[in-house]
Structure 1
Amino acid sequence: MQTPLTVMDFLDRAELVYGDRVGLVDEPVQPADSWGEVTYRRMAQLARAQAAGLDRLGVGPGERVAVVSHNSARLMTSLYGVSGHSRVLVPVNFRLKAEEVAYIVEQSGASVLLVDPELDEALAGVPVKHRFVLGAESDAQLYDFDREPVRHRISESDTATINYTSGTTARPKGVQLTHRNIWLNAVLMGLHFGAGDRDVYLHTLPMFHANGWGLPFVLTGLGAQHVVLRKVDGAEILRRVERHGVTFLCGAPAVATAVLDAAADWDGPVPGRDRVRIIVAGAPPPTSVVQRIESELGWEFMQIYGLTETSPVVTVNRGRAEWDALPPAERAERLVQAGSPALGSQVRVDGQGEVLVRSNTVLEGYWKQPDETAAALKGGWFHTGDGGTLTDGYLAISDRKKDVIITGGENVSSIEVEDCLYGHPAVAEVAVIGVPDRKWGETVKALVVLKDGQSADEAALIAHCKQRLAGYKAPTSVEFRDSLPRTTTGKLQKFRLREPYWAGRAREVN
């Protein structure tokens, strides 16, 4: 027997087995009026009512519903009320400008746009057939409790969500993730990281980003509790960990750093010691951050590597029994690797150093971009665009291929230089890029944000690197900044950092 794997499997089980359990604790200060505590039975009722509301609007199977929202109970429920009832959810990065959101709405063909109240004015000019500002008033229009929704047949190969990439290219591409992609990714996340019904998960990760890495699905299906955090703040994360008994959270290295900074000023024992596990992804974290998470917080550090196009899990890294007795620095060096292939994933590195992936979690395609799809899936493998090495079953990401700096014929990984600079006590943030150089073709430049109250000059930071790296890898210049541009998920937007240095040139390589 074979039955289709669909996203509704997760909420259906939660309603059946854990119906009376509080499954979702909404952000208490939502501008859209908080839903407060929501049981799994109520969450399933809300999802059905949302689907019935879309029926009433005339939004049919396969139509796209876009939502631009910070983390909220309404956004999470839409994963089921929209995708679980034959439509396609388009979760949009809430930091995008109006013209960028308008492009996504138009390119996806969305007929419905749901907007966070905080973004109402900024996105007022985005054209769409049906527009709703999330809140108590629109709830009455969007949720129809008086009728049962039409349950259209869903195939596991149907598109469930279209997730637009974070904008490292001129125009984001719409990644089509199927019900099968999402289902298998979610189960793999739960399996590799030991999720269960005793877990309390804090949504520090934006739900729009690769559908919250699949955790809103698997943790729902297992009956865990979700605690919604609207905006990342290190001290508030610690408060929620203490108040709700949080056991599990995720984020980019910047999130981990925010927690570490807050912990330094925390009055009393840091909450969650020997209980919390944190998954970090989005960029390879500095080894110093890994050590501090495990020693200062007493939290278990774990890592995944993946992309929106892979739902996102590709590799996983969690401490092995063989590593338990290792010194902290050596253990951190093992954990900072991207990890080993997730169950069912095949990973290899081609002759040009690019990481290739074959898996059931790989995207169906880019929405209405057949040429881009064909290029990404050439040869039956997904081409990640990342450079890396695979040793003894463990993948290490060296850089985005375009972020490798070639100076005097030598390849320099910007990540390696960044990790070195993070080891300097005065450095809070750093981005390393290649800039044009008449003699060497391009040369290494570091853009640095210093910690509050700390000081360092260019010469000191260059000397710090030269003591620890081959001379050609050390920056030839350092520029100090107040901040560095990042995506919502904490990824450095190096294409923006490079632009002024390469302006007027045909290509960003010399």
Structure 2
Amino acid sequence: MTDATFIADHARAAAEAAPDDTGWIYEGREWTWGQVWESVRRTAGALRAEGVGQGDHIAVVDKNNPAILQLVLGASLLGAATAIVNWRLAGDELDYTINDSGAKVLFVGAELLDQVDVVRDKLTTVERIIVMGGDADEFEAWQAAGEPLDQAPGTSADDPVVVMYSSGTTGRPKGVLLTQRNLVAHTENADAGVEYPEGSKMLVAMPMFHVGGTSYAMFGIKNRVPGYIIRDVEPTALAGAMMSGVTHAFLVPAVVAMLLQAGDDAMKLFSGLRAFSYGAAPMPQTILRGAQQHWPETAFYQVYGLTEFCGVVTMLHDDEHRDLEHPERLLSAGKPIPGVEARVVDPATLQDAAPGEAGELWFRTAQATPGYHGRPDATAELYAGDGWVRTGDIGRIDADGYVYVEDRIKDMIITGGENVYSPEVERVLSEHPDLLEVAIIGVPDETWGESVKAVVALREGAHATEAEIIAWAREHLAHYKVPRTIDVVEMLPRNPSGKILKRDLRKPYWAGGRQV
């Protein structure tokens, strides 16, 4: 256990204990833990000079970069929160998210400045935009001019630190507030049992606008393990990381699938991993078995969680991956991690389901968000009372305490680790002048786990083609949310109350059952 109260306490402790040891590695540059802490303190001072204080928000739009972590930790010293915006968002999704965050200062990666410029005039709360990287970099000088600060008096463990945007069933993203207390608890709980022997090095590859990127990076700071940060998950960057001696990694199953498809040489490059964690999407058993065969010395950890919990709430450990007497446990998401309680509740009666019976998964933990930014209605729906948080996932817990996630109440599609909510895509497609009605479903995809499919009915006399509908979607949605295929039908199936029967639409594609 640590005695951290604030998330930046881990960076301070690393600087005090090992100031000259390597902390971060990024594109040929290294920061010692002493330099990491100094950069965090100067970021806090520079933010204060911009008028940022307790309760304020800033936002960042960039691919993975140590500056994002510096902003998160620096703002946390002031009691302010950082909204890490999905850089893949397009058009009105981008300005909606930035405006909703209430950010006073916006930090933008140089290569993404053009897409921010398109919506610059629509940003209602942003007082200043600071460019990071490239020839137009303003961040380094801005940060260097900051007066080094420590944790500000009056800041609280309940101050929000991060705002992570999660697409909601209303069709608009919701800002998940994660506090100092939440992140400290997650950093303490979620790597329990993972070992970091001398010489360990962590790969920070998942996008930092996901908890799988930012929250994972916090483990390295707490354990004083160097973090090798790559801007994006692409082959050259991954290869460079492995050749540098990375020993610990968290990736989505789609990346493993691509490595397997690339052949033995690609898999061999990753065989030096001591610990491999995966989650954010189902891992098909054929992919898992292939990885285990190629990486016999690697410890495997499966995790399940939600943004609302800072990430992980259950874990399947390496020994459980290798338990020949219980092969069925490979289909589970493991057991709740320390500090997390779990229940299965009948969503109709709100009574606990019988042991082994399916129901909605509820969790209670100090990791749980206090709610959604500016959305008391959605927050009220999230919490079930007495600290229990509804997940919207259907699952069961067996007699030995293993959690099995079997389906999703919400219409969420997980494609390559990215969450796509059907109503969000339906909202965009429904604006197409030729479409009468739209239903979005997830269908099996060997590489991505699931892919997005649209089932549509055309207006009378309309002749929109599949290519035209997809092109329309690309103009208004991030790429991963765009339907890969379109089925045109005369009418969508509905129940007597008029609700579209998505289960009927999915049935032909999931005849063999979902892989979970």
Q: TM-score, normalised by structure 1?
A: 0.76
Cα distance in structure 1, aligned partners of 2:334 and 2:288:
14
Is 1:305 the counterpart of 2:313? The answer is no
Is 1:346 the counterpart of 2:354? The answer is no
Seen in structure 2, the aligned counterparts of structure 1 residues 230 and 278 have a Cα distance that, compared at 3 Å, is same
Cα distance in structure 2, aligned partners of 1:319 and 1:369:
39
Question: Paired residues, what number?
Answer: 433
More off after superposition, 251-260 vs 496-505: 496-505
Q: From 55, 63, 75, give the equivalent of 2:56.
A: 63
Seen in structure 2, the aligned counterparts of structure 1 residues 430 and 314 have a Cα distance that, compared at 3 Å, is closer
Q: Hey, what does 1:508 align to over in structure 2? A: 500
Q: Hey, what does 1:453 align to over in structure 2? A: none
CA contact (8 A) 1:10 1:218 kept: no
Report the 3-state secondary structure (helix = DSSP H, G, I; strand = E; otherwise coil) of the residue aligned with 1:270: helix
Q: From 46, 54, 65, give the equivalent of 1:72.
A: 65
Q: Hey, what does 2:172 align to over in structure 1? A: 171
Q: From 378, 390, 394, give the equivalent of 2:402.
A: 394
CA contact (8 A) 1:318 1:335 kept: no
More off after superposition, 51-60 vs 131-140: 131-140
1:414-437, CA deviations, whole angstroms, 9 ceiling, x for partnerless residues? 99x94xx84xxxx77654879699
Cα distance in structure 2, aligned partners of 1:500 and 1:361:
44
More off after superposition, 9-18 vs 210-219: 210-219
Q: Hey, what does 1:202 align to over in structure 2? A: 203
Report the 3-state secondary structure (helix = DSSP H, G, I; strand = E; otherwise coil) of the residue aligned with 2:314: strand
Report the 3-state secondary structure (helix = DSSP H, G, I; strand = E; otherwise coil) of the residue aligned with 2:191: helix
Report the 3-state secondary structure (helix = DSSP H, G, I; strand = E; otherwise coil) of the residue aligned with 1:165: strand
Seen in structure 2, the aligned counterparts of structure 1 residues 211 and 6 have a Cα distance that, compared at 3 Å, is farther
Seen in structure 2, the aligned counterparts of structure 1 residues 430 and 53 have a Cα distance that, compared at 3 Å, is closer
Report the 3-state secondary structure (helix = DSSP H, G, I; strand = E; otherwise coil) of the residue aligned with 1:190: coil
Cα distance in structure 1, aligned partners of 2:179 and 2:147:
30
Q: What is the one-letter code of the residue matched to 1:68?
A: V
Deviation of residue 187 (structure 1)?
1.1
Q: Hey, what does 1:10 align to over in structure 2? A: 10
Report the 3-state secondary structure (helix = DSSP H, G, I; strand = E; otherwise coil) of the residue aligned with 1:245: coil
Cα distance in structure 2, aligned partners of 1:489 and 1:39:
36
CA contact (8 A) 2:45 2:148 kept: yes
Q: What is the one-letter code of the residue matched to 1:203?
A: V
Deviation of residue 130 (structure 1)?
1.1
Seen in structure 2, the aligned counterparts of structure 1 residues 152 and 130 have a Cα distance that, compared at 3 Å, is farther
Deviation of residue 493 (structure 1)?
5.1
Report the 3-state secondary structure (helix = DSSP H, G, I; strand = E; otherwise coil) of the residue aligned with 1:95: coil
Cα distance in structure 2, aligned partners of 1:191 and 1:404:
29
Cα distance in structure 1, aligned partners of 2:316 and 2:228:
25
CA contact (8 A) 1:313 1:361 kept: no
Seen in structure 2, the aligned counterparts of structure 1 residues 81 and 286 have a Cα distance that, compared at 3 Å, is same
Seen in structure 2, the aligned counterparts of structure 1 residues 264 and 145 have a Cα distance that, compared at 3 Å, is same
Deviation of residue 149 (structure 1)?
6.2
Seen in structure 2, the aligned counterparts of structure 1 residues 258 and 54 have a Cα distance that, compared at 3 Å, is same
Deviation of residue 24 (structure 1)?
0.4
Deviation of residue 497 (structure 1)?
7.0
Q: Hey, what does 2:324 align to over in structure 1? A: 326
Deviation of residue 79 (structure 1)?
2.1
Seen in structure 2, the aligned counterparts of structure 1 residues 291 and 144 have a Cα distance that, compared at 3 Å, is same
Alignment of 1:373-392 (within 5 A): 373-380=379-386, 381-391=388-398, 392=400
Seen in structure 2, the aligned counterparts of structure 1 residues 157 and 325 have a Cα distance that, compared at 3 Å, is closer
Q: Hey, what does 2:361 align to over in structure 1? A: 355
Q: What is the one-letter code of the residue matched to 1:326?
A: L
Seen in structure 2, the aligned counterparts of structure 1 residues 213 and 307 have a Cα distance that, compared at 3 Å, is farther
Cα distance in structure 1, aligned partners of 2:361 and 2:212:
23
Cα distance in structure 2, aligned partners of 1:97 and 1:196:
42
Q: Hey, what does 1:261 align to over in structure 2? A: 261
Report the 3-state secondary structure (helix = DSSP H, G, I; strand = E; otherwise coil) of the residue aligned with 2:324: coil
Cα distance in structure 2, aligned partners of 1:193 and 1:187:
12
Runs of at least 5 residues in structure 2 that lack an aligned partner in the other structure: 348-358, 414-440, 458-469, 503-516
Q: What is the one-letter code of the residue matched to 2:314?
A: T
CA contact (8 A) 2:456 2:486 kept: no
Cα distance in structure 1, aligned partners of 2:64 and 2:280:
18
CA contact (8 A) 1:346 1:358 kept: yes
Alignment of 1:98-109 (within 5 A): 98-109=91-102
Q: Hey, what does 1:115 align to over in structure 2? A: 108
More off after superposition, 361-370 vs 256-265: 256-265
Seen in structure 2, the aligned counterparts of structure 1 residues 110 and 261 have a Cα distance that, compared at 3 Å, is same
Q: What is the one-letter code of the residue matched to 2:261?
A: D
Deviation of residue 147 (structure 1)?
5.4
Q: From 290, 299, 303, give the equivalent of 2:288.
A: 290
CA contact (8 A) 1:431 1:494 kept: no
More off after superposition, 376-385 vs 191-200: 191-200
Report the 3-state secondary structure (helix = DSSP H, G, I; strand = E; otherwise coil) of the residue aligned with 2:5: coil
Q: TM-score, normalised by structure 2?
A: 0.75
**Identity across matched positions, percent:** 28
Deviation of residue 274 (structure 1)?
5.7
Deviation of residue 500 (structure 1)?
7.1
More off after superposition, 204-213 vs 42-51: 204-213
CA contact (8 A) 1:356 1:383 kept: yes
Q: What is the one-letter code of the residue matched to 2:129?
A: R
Deviation of residue 494 (structure 1)?
9.4
Cα distance in structure 2, aligned partners of 1:270 and 1:167:
39
1:413-468, CA deviations, whole angstroms, 9 ceiling, x for partnerless residues? x99x94xx84xxxx77654879699xxxxxxxxxxxxxxxxxxxxxxxxxxxxxxx
